[in-house]
Each structure stands twice: as C-alpha cells, then as structure tokens.
Amino acid sequence: MAPTWEPGRPGVLSLPSGRLIRGRGLLAPFPAGPRPDFGLYLLGRSPRPVEWDSRWVRWRDLHVPADDVDALDAFQEAWRRAETERVEVACWGGRGRTGTALACIAVLDGVPAAEAVAFVRRNYRRGAVETPWQRRYVGRFNGGGAVS
C-alpha cells in the first residue's frame, strides 16, 4: 500500500472515511514533501504535463464543470484512489473549483450534500466554493449520477 498524505498538513482534507486528499492552487509554489500519485486538475484549458498520473476536467474559472458526467467520473476516481494513494485536486487558485470538487468528493464519502460546502470550508479552506452556482452545484450533487 502506497502512503497517503500526512493528516493536518496544509491543504490536506481528511474525509469521514479517513481518506486524505490535498487541495491546492497551481499558482502557488509546489508544496514541500512527497509528490502526488494522482492529480485531478480543474482548468479551462489542458494543464501542463506532470510526472504522475493525472486527469483534466474542463472547468472555467468561477463556473461549474463543463461536463457533469466527466466530472462525476473524475471525482469518483479521485475518491477511489485516495484510499491508497496521494491524490491532489487543484485549480489555479485552489479555492472555487478545487473547493467545489472537494465538496463533491466529500458527498461521495458520505457527507450530506447540504452540509458539504460547510464541511470543506471548515476542514480545507474558509473561502472554498466561491460562487452561488458552485454552491448550488454541490447542493444538487448526489454522487450517483449527473447533477440533477
């Protein structure tokens, strides 16, 4: 079993199941310590290649994902891989898109959708999930299919 993130480190969200996922902003310097095993990158255009497994979800700044089905599949992959791998979720600033994705992943982990934004703001970053439509996206996210 590959190690996961160290709990309590900056940007590391501890989910109720014990899975750990690191959120970060790509504009900030790369964090010290181990590299991810898998990265989920939420950007309006294709990210630069990285040295680890990665996935790109087309997602413009301050919006919601361009494709709900692709986003759901990516969130599920990140959640599954976080059981045994170091997974990071990132956008440019590490707040809106990253917070929205982390909140949806928290729903997959059992956090009720109505509580997921508060959970991420409390346990990851206070300003996470920036826009009203991102908050609505999380509130409607059911984890079993596209956003209703």
Question: Residue 148: is its pLDDT beyond 60?
Answer: no
Q: How far is CA 68 from the centre of its chain?
A: 14
Residue 132 neighbours by CB distance under 10 Å: 8
| Tokens describing residue 14 | 């501890």
Determine the angle formed by the axes of helices 96-108 and 113-123, rounding to 10 degrees. 120
pLDDT, tens digit, 9 for 90 and up, residues 98-145 = 999 999 999 999 999 999 999 999 999 999 999 999 999 999 998 765
When pLDDT is cut at 50, 70 and 90, the band that residue 26 belongs to is very high
Question: Residue 30: is its pLDDT beyond 80?
Answer: yes
The string over 77-116, giving b where at least 16 C-beta atoms fall within 10 Å of a residue's C-beta and e elsewhere, is ebbebbeebbbbbbbbbbbbbbbbbbbbbbbbbebebeeb
When pLDDT is cut at 50, 70 and 90, the band that residue 1 belongs to is very low
- For domain 12-140, the CATH superfamily is Protein tyrosine phosphatase superfamily (3.90.190.10)
Residue 11 backbone class (left: φ over 0; alpha: ψ -120 to 50; beta: rest): left
For the chain, the structural domain boundaries read 12-140
Alpha carbons 71 and 102: distance in angstroms, whole number = 12
- Asked whether the beta carbons of 37 and 23 are under 8 A apart, the reply is no
Helical (H) or strand (E) element with 22: strand 20-25
Residue matched to tokens 């990210």: 47
Question: Residue 77: is its pLDDT beyond 50?
Answer: yes
User: Taking the model in full, what pTM does it have?
Assistant: 0.95
